[in-house]
Chain A
């Protein structure tokens, strides 16, 4: 079997699995977030936490809840990281304050950018009790906000968008936890470790020594992918054999990365009462995901015919195709886990991964964040194209007026502004430049990738950049924090604005948002906005490198 056939079959199996699962999972998610009944364990939760699960919040209160939860998360995780050397299972792990600030922001924002090395920088206790917990809850926050936006669109003049505490709890208890458990057991069976004993130093048969690491990896690996987090237990992330032992676990991990983001459009379609709406969004996501997969795979495949091949930074057990598939999926979502080193990719291959992030990670994007990002693109598409059918633009019967377009436009501008300003500033700060590995146009790509990854909450890196220094830790931390929560609050405001509106009936004169044409329009808007914003930067980075 040739590499191409193997690669295409792998992609085919993945796509079939996603196609099969997204319908029942999407429907299940829709039921989870509309059900009137609480599980016994959830009732106990609500009593314990003093939450009235039946009260629905206005967007501002929902946002306050998100904010309060974030602050608590940041403080708790930051403290845990700063104190880890005094806690059990430390084994010498400790962190600088600026690294701790960066790391706690990174995990709370679902970015999982790591300027520390997992093996030496974070203790087993911190990994499990701090980082893995954020893998769950940061993902749940994303899902909750996406559901809130859908509720706003579906609401009939109610003004409220649901209860954050209930959404958060249900996302964790009913969605992430069961799937992660199954995923963890599958990965465990595939060879991912789950062990709390101390790392073992062994003597090899040649008389050398090697450390065999330990840790609760399987449980963390599953949620790392499922929650599109991406923070590796080990420095090499999913390239590490203990995180990703073989091509089967590799495929399972890619599946886990994509399964919720590709199912949420179905949930959206269900909740707004028109499955075709979800189909249009998933069509948009799938088209760009496929297109970028073609670009990255083609670039790497082309590079692999050169004498040195494309195997630098890739594992033999995975090969070029599966690595490219992983790279495309991890950057098209907000995951950022890597099973190969993106910086060693060909200019266009690495540039493709970069472009996925610059698109705003909406193809299909992070859990929740991908859907709300895609819906903002839909709103922009509706606004511009909607005028062309001669009506005030509306989406699902909700007008896109002054308020709505303000929120959507600001949403669109936040991450590009962070990326461009962050990169431009770092390239003139000598302390930041000192951390760079690459030179020439690839150096620009390296820095651009870092700020694109942080601002879009991806977390993958052109890892040649030595980011564990105050300037980069703090500016990237700021990008992660602003890049996560400013758009999120704008989305909640948008949800509130939609929820306050009457729903207009659909007529022949309404611009349809469920057609392939509309999916195509979304593709056009996403590409145009990203292209126009980043073409100069991409020309000076990946394109210049590729064309020289």
Chain B
């Protein structure tokens, strides 16, 4: 199955991010890990398991919401009654296969829902029926069942306890095991205030004690919502699904008219075809294939997101993802690796390079930031050795006021490293040398998109000289350049969001190959950008995690909140990424497109199928009146009865044959729209015309041996 390969490649795309975080995807249920070889057999297993559910769905009260299937149901009832009144092998066979059509149609939906149910069960196990320790007005604690918690209640959770509900940490700091919902085994830190205050009910505190303010009513917690989402219990039809449903209903009405008028048209000059044959023709003509698979396609689309650890709050969001034409991507973590790295050290004045490297090395030894470590590593490479911090050295930590850090060595030498402006001011004030040159180099580095750090050396009371400029560089994540080119081919504009200055931003934007950038971005800027894009008719997708991202997340057409983010962000977005991997936005767009493509392809296929069915049934139906019409029997089917039955059987079996495709989705390739259109029309349009001619002929070759044919 071609779709499998797509699954594999997209998994590869997602992999770097996953590995970086060291996650194991517990959320991906057993079905996902089965590989390509046994897909079909496991689908068969699922189908068998889903049979009872499919049978239950044959209830007309369920079917009435799907006009196409409801017509099939009425047809099946009618043929059954007719078969009982005028029993014949033919009438019973037609009746049986019409019931089979309904069963197969429901099977598709059941199988799709079954996959979700498996995931829901995993989640349900983690939903503890815990008790909560609520803080009373008096300041004491009381034990209450978690289900009785109200909004704004404060509860105490200590190491080893399960957090009873969604909320924000208002007191304390703790490590929390969130593997229940994210599958990540590594604990995360949650603390009061800031963007890491949100905790989810059902997760476990591993250390320390926190006080949590409850922000969700019981039954409406994140886990509850996840369960109902993956189960499809609250599944509402998406706008596009509704629109397609309308088209299918109207087509059904047209075919109803076309078939209902046949008795009069044929009766004008000869015998009328039997009701049984007319009913069979009707069922073959109405778009049963897509009608049967429509909801399965929708459920499977959501499911594919869940398998990538993304929860969409509505099917609408998944559809919108396919339509996205502008992606707002945060620079850090999405486009570049999370931190800058030393790429070069430029000597100021006429000093020895190795001496400058040594000084830079020493100055960074105590700097535990990733940037600092990258300087130590880079210089160590150049020096060939790794120095240790000299004993007796005093570490001067970075402060927001000085904007520099360094060490004071025991011999009185003071090494400083920091923002160019600050260090050069220090140099000038002390009467030292090299400030101007260092500034000039720093400007050059900035212009190249790098971040300059100036290293100075001096002594207590004496002049401080600037000796070198460290060039820190953003490192573009591997593969990103190709992906942006791919996105451009798909017609999607990428905008990089960064807090850097415009010069730096431009350099990185150019290197990464994004279409545009927003430098020195504030939340308000982001919001403005989204509004402008939307006024131009573009759909915008973005990721965010902070509380100040919330308005933009809400405004964006697709807002993906990181699971590590605040509950405000999660509320505002319409998707949550449990892996908190901003790169995944690109996968989400692909999944959205895949959903729409699958729907369109199967609709086209379904309608194109009708041509062959006409060629099977019309000669069979009218040959008694006009023997000349036998020349329309281009498939040379055995007899009238076998032709009609073969068409009915094909109509039922094609649903089963297409269930795997509707669940896996049509393979999505990042092609230009016109290429993709030509390709899909060829496969599903032309293929849809040809396939049933072959299928019906083959079935006829078998069916002709049945009694009554």
Direct contact of A and B (CB under 8 A): yes
Q: List residues of A whose CB falls within 8 A of some B CB.
A: 380, 383-392, 397, 400-402, 404-406, 409-410, 412-413, 416-417, 420-421, 423-425, 427-428, 439-441, 443-444, 447-448, 502-505, 507-512, 515, 517, 521, 524, 528-529, 531-537, 539-541, 543-544, 546-548
Q: List 18 A-B contacts (CB under 8 A).
A: A380-B247, A384-B600, A387-B603, A388-B604, A401-B243, A405-B247, A420-B258, A424-B261, A428-B267, A505-B538, A507-B492, A509-B492, A517-B674, A531-B614, A535-B614, A536-B258, A536-B614, A547-B631
Chain A residue nearest in CB terms to B603 = A384
B267: which A residues are within 8 A, CB to CB? Answer: 427-428
Nearest Cβ in chain B — how far from A153, in angstroms? Answer: 14
Residue contact B596 to A392, C-beta cutoff 8 Å? yes
A420: which B residues are within 8 A, CB to CB? Answer: 257-258, 261
A416 to B250, CA, bound (A): 12
A543: which B residues are within 8 A, CB to CB? Answer: 629, 632
CB of B254 within 8 Å of the partner chain? yes
A421 to B263, CA, bound (A): 12
B603: which A residues are within 8 A, CB to CB? Answer: 384, 387
Residue of B254, B610, B626 touching A544 (CB-CB under 8 A): B626
CB of B268 within 8 Å of the partner chain? yes
CB of B333 within 8 Å of the partner chain? no
In this complex, the interface size class of chain B, counting residues with CB under 8 Å from chain A, is 35 or more
Interface centre among A524, A531, A533, A539 (most CB of B within 10 A): A539
CB of B625 within 8 Å of the partner chain? yes
A512 to B251, CA, bound (A): 25
A417 to B592, CA, bound (A): 36
Residue of A416, A504, A515 touching B254 (CB-CB under 8 A): A416
Residue contact B677 to A392, C-beta cutoff 8 Å? no
Residue contact A511 to B681, C-beta cutoff 8 Å? no
Residue contact A401 to B681, C-beta cutoff 8 Å? no
Chain A residue nearest in CB terms to B630 = A547
CB of B264 within 8 Å of the partner chain? yes
Within 8 A of A (CB), among B650-709: 668, 672-674, 676-678, 680-681, 684-685
Residue of A444, A533, A548 touching B268 (CB-CB under 8 A): A444
Residue of A385, A390, A443, A503 touching B322 (CB-CB under 8 A): A390
A508 to B489, CA, bound (A): 6
Residue contact A388 to B676, C-beta cutoff 8 Å? yes
A443: which B residues are within 8 A, CB to CB? Answer: 268-269
Residue contact A423 to B323, C-beta cutoff 8 Å? no
Nearest Cβ in chain B — how far from A433, in angstroms? Answer: 8
A410: which B residues are within 8 A, CB to CB? Answer: 250
Residue contact B261 to A504, C-beta cutoff 8 Å? no
CB of B523 within 8 Å of the partner chain? no
Residue contact B264 to A536, C-beta cutoff 8 Å? no
A531: which B residues are within 8 A, CB to CB? Answer: 611, 614
A536 to B622, CA, bound (A): 9
A517: which B residues are within 8 A, CB to CB? Answer: 674, 677-678, 681
A540: which B residues are within 8 A, CB to CB? Answer: 262, 265-266, 268-269, 622, 625-626
CB of B628 within 8 Å of the partner chain? yes
A-B pairs, top 6 by smallest CB distance, nearest first, are A387-B600, A509-B491, A390-B593, A507-B491, A547-B628, A508-B491
Chain B residue nearest in CB terms to A524 = B685
A386: which B residues are within 8 A, CB to CB? Answer: 600
CB of B54 within 8 Å of the partner chain? no
Residue contact A413 to B258, C-beta cutoff 8 Å? no
B259: which A residues are within 8 A, CB to CB? Answer: 536
A392 to B242, CA, bound (A): 12
Residue contact B681 to A521, C-beta cutoff 8 Å? yes
Residue contact A532 to B490, C-beta cutoff 8 Å? no
Residue contact A532 to B258, C-beta cutoff 8 Å? yes
CB of B567 within 8 Å of the partner chain? no
Also in contact, A532 and B255, with CB within 8 A (given A427-B264, A508-B491): yes
Nearest Cβ in chain B — how far from A97, in angstroms? Answer: 28
CB of B634 within 8 Å of the partner chain? no
A546: which B residues are within 8 A, CB to CB? Answer: 628
Residue contact B250 to A412, C-beta cutoff 8 Å? yes
Nearest Cβ in chain B — how far from A405, in angstroms? Answer: 5
Interface centre among A391, A410, A441 (most CB of B within 10 A): A391
Within 8 A of A (CB), among B115-133: none
B239: which A residues are within 8 A, CB to CB? Answer: 392, 401-402
A439: which B residues are within 8 A, CB to CB? Answer: 269
A534 to B610, CA, bound (A): 13
A385: which B residues are within 8 A, CB to CB? Answer: 600, 604, 677, 680-681
B674: which A residues are within 8 A, CB to CB? Answer: 511-512, 515, 517
Residue contact A423 to B604, C-beta cutoff 8 Å? no
Chain B residue nearest in CB terms to A422 = B261
Residue contact A441 to B626, C-beta cutoff 8 Å? yes
Nearest Cβ in chain B — how far from A179, in angstroms? Answer: 37
B489: which A residues are within 8 A, CB to CB? Answer: 508
Nearest Cβ in chain B — how far from A442, in angstroms? Answer: 10
Interface centre among B492, B593, B673 (most CB of A within 10 A): B673
Within 8 A of A (CB), among B526-545: 535-538
Residue contact A390 to B265, C-beta cutoff 8 Å? no
A385 to B685, CA, bound (A): 9
Residue contact B325 to A392, C-beta cutoff 8 Å? no
Residue contact B629 to A502, C-beta cutoff 8 Å? no
Also in contact, A505 and B537, with CB within 8 A (given A410-B250, A427-B267): yes
Residue contact B622 to A510, C-beta cutoff 8 Å? no
Residue of B265, B325, B600, B684 touching A536 (CB-CB under 8 A): B265
Nearest Cβ in chain A — how far from B618, in angstroms? Answer: 5
Residue-wise interface mask of B (579-597) relative to A, using a CB-CB cutoff of 8 A (1 in contact, 0 not): 0000000000000111011
Chain A residue nearest in CB terms to B259 = A536
A423 to B261, CA, bound (A): 8
Chain A residue nearest in CB terms to B678 = A517
Residue contact B265 to A444, C-beta cutoff 8 Å? yes
Residue contact B325 to A539, C-beta cutoff 8 Å? no
Nearest Cβ in chain B — how far from A529, in angstroms? Answer: 8
Q: Given contacts A385-B680, A392-B240, A423-B265, could you give 5 more A-B pairs where the C-beta distance is less than 8 Å?
A: A417-B253, A508-B491, A509-B490, A537-B265, A539-B629
Also in contact, A425 and B264, with CB within 8 A (given A512-B674, A531-B611): yes
A350 to B676, CA, bound (A): 40
B618: which A residues are within 8 A, CB to CB? Answer: 535-536, 539
Also in contact, A400 and B243, with CB within 8 A (given A388-B604, A548-B628): yes
A444: which B residues are within 8 A, CB to CB? Answer: 265, 268-269
A384 to B257, CA, bound (A): 22
Residue of B243, B257, B266, B673 touching A383 (CB-CB under 8 A): B243
Residue contact B622 to A544, C-beta cutoff 8 Å? yes
Residue-wise interface mask of B (597-636) relative to A, using a CB-CB cutoff of 8 A (1 in contact, 0 not): 1011101100110110010001001100111110110000
A441: which B residues are within 8 A, CB to CB? Answer: 269, 626
Residue-wise interface mask of B (213-255) relative to A, using a CB-CB cutoff of 8 A (1 in contact, 0 not): 0000000000000000000000000011011101100110111
